[in-house]
Amino acid sequence: MPSYDPNNIFAKILRGELPCHKVYEDDKVLAFLDIMPRAPGHTLVLPKAAARNLLDVEADDLAAVATAAQKIAKASMAVFNAEGVTLQQFNEGAGGQVVFHLHIHVIPRKAGVPMKPPATEKEKPEVLSDQALRLSAVLKA
């Protein structure tokens, strides 16, 4: 398996070199909104540790990501009036992974509303800012 690239876009976000619409952070995890969401509230949850994907992440970092993903899924159900939630996680190119830093997609869903195709349309920054504020407020409560 290829090694971890410390210059991937998520590593740059973790180092504060690139901005994000943060919704949650603790000592092991950062979660922020996807700028090309497949549905309103589409959040990316990743470990702060350098982990390429599920195949090389330390167990405690994976547990922290899973716990945070569950918290965000519960909060997003309320904030976005969702009727369900889709979690996605991809490993290596053949598995659909595009950014090679472990991350879980938490996507609030409504019945009968299809997800947008991946990476097709950037959301307006003001929409993302509003969504991030609303989601982070529920997560802090």
How many other CB atoms are there within 10 angstroms of residue 110's CB atom? 13
Rounded CA separation 8/63 (Å):
22
What is the spatial distance between Cα 101 and Cα 57, in angstroms, rounded to a whole number? 10
Tell me the CA distances in angstroms from 115 to 51, 86, 108, one per residue in order: 27, 10, 10
Give me 14's structure tokens. Answer: 């973790």
103 in active site:
yes
DSSP string across 79-102? HTT-SEEEEE---TGGGT--SSS-
The catalytically annotated residue of 21, 42, 101, 103 is: 103
Active site residues: 103
